[in-house]
């Protein structure tokens, strides 16, 4: 069942989202060669808990040990922070984070370049970021969930890159994962009708060489089957009567004026 959120509830979710937006600004400054993913995770947990009533949403969710998912290079999602994973020049790292504050959740992800990265890695990040922006623009009352996926597909089409098919976005609210599922592929006009009050976590994942993924031996990390690079950008987005509202971005930023930061 797709639960609609009131205007007041969406404001609560925006407050959770603002913490995430602020956290990413800090993480961006800390992503550099020599930093471990566990150090980023420790910083993130402290940052989140420094906001009254806010807790890291992922920690303990389904048994996940971290506050962040930190996925490097071929890792797509759900990488576990570790002091043995140290960032190196030329890596890309996808950081995914959730916050719950006063009962309301936010979920967002960004892929960062560690120092100078290859042109291919840069292109992959650009294409994935653009796919998210296109998907957000399609998150409009009266359209359908299929329009969102179709927008991702159109944005990635022609790049030569591949949309990860087996992982999807989701509704979000009091829980991290609510109905509906939001696939990164679709047909305009199909799927559940988008209505004001729906809040969706939209999260294209795009890889260089394949759409296929595999689970690594830790039982959590999902990586590309061919070892090629993968990028991930995600925002929590409310459907409103005035268009899509990004709850995990700068406050009051509404597509199509969307920019997603560097
Ligand atoms: Mg996420
Ligand atoms: Mg998500």
Distant-in-sequence, close-in-space partners of 207: CB < 8 Å, separation ≥ 6: 76, 124, 161, 162, 164, 224, 228, 229, 230, 231
3-class DSSP state of 258: coil
Q: Say how many Å lie between the CA of residue 61 and the centre of ligand 2.
A: 12
Q: Is residue 73 domain-resident?
A: yes
pLDDT recorded at residue 251: 65
Q: How far is the CA of 78 from the centre of ligand 1 (A)?
A: 9
For each of the chain's 262 residues, which pLDDT tens digit applies?
A: 999 999 999 999 999 999 999 999 999 999 999 999 999 999 999 999 999 999 999 999 999 999 999 999 999 999 999 999 999 999 999 999 999 999 999 999 999 999 999 999 999 999 999 999 999 999 999 999 999 999 999 999 999 999 999 999 999 999 999 999 999 999 999 999 999 999 999 999 999 999 999 999 999 999 999 999 999 999 999 999 999 999 999 865 444 444 444 3
CA of 209 to the centre of ligand 2 (A): 23
**Does any domain span residue 182?**
yes
Please tell me the number of the ligand nearest to residue 24's CA. Answer: 1
Closest ligand (CA of 167) = 2
Ligand nearest to the CA of residue 172, numbered in listed order: 2
In a domain, residue 262? The reply is no
Residue 1 falls within a domain, yes or no? no
**Residue 91 CA, ligand 2 centroid: distance in Å:** 23
Specify whether the CB–CB gap between 196 and 141 falls below 8 A. yes
- What is the CA(226)–ligand 1 centre distance, in A? 23
Each residue's pLDDT tens digit, 132-151: 999 999 999 999 999 999 99
- Count the domains in the chain: 1
Q: Ligand 2: distance of its center to the CA of 176 in Å?
A: 7
- For residue 2, being part of any structural domain is answered with no
Q: Which domain holds residue 43?
A: 7-257
In a domain, 111, yes or no: yes
Q: What is the CATH number of the domain that holds 250?
A: 3.90.230.10
Element (H, E) at 137: helix 119-137
């Amino acid at each position: 069942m797709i639960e609609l959120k009131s205007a007041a509830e969406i404001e609560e979710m925006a407050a959770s989202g603002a913490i995430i937006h602020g956290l990413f600004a800090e993480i961006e400054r800390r992503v550099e060669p020599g930093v471990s993913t566990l150090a980023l995770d420790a910083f993130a947990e402290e940052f989140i808990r420094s906001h009254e009533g806010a807790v890291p949403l992922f920690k303990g969710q389904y048994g996940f040990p971290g506050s962040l998912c930190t996925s490097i290079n071929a890792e797509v999602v759900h990488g576990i922070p570790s002091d043995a994973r140290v960032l190196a020049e030329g890596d890309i790292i996808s950081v995914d984070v959730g916050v719950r504050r006063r009962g309301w959740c936010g979920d967002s992800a960004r892929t960062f370049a560690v120092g100078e990265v290859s042109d291919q890695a840069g292109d992959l990040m650009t294409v994935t970021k653009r796919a998210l922006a296109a998907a957000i623009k399609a998150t409009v009352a009266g359209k359908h969930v299929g329009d969102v996926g179709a927008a991702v597909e159109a944005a990635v089409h022609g790049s030569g890159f591949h949309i990860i098919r087996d992982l999807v976005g989701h509704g979000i609210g009091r829980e991290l994962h609510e109905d509906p599922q939001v696939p990164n592929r679709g047909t305009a006009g199909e799927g559940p009708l988008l209505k004001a009050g729906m809040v969706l976590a939209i999260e294209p994942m795009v890889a260089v060489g394949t759409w296929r993924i595999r689970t690594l031996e830790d039982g959590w990390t999902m990586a590309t089957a061919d070892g090629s690079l993968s990028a991930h950008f995600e925002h929590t987005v409310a459907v409103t009567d005035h268009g899509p509202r990004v709850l995990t971005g700068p406050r009051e930023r509404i597509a199509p004026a969307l920019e997603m930061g560097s």
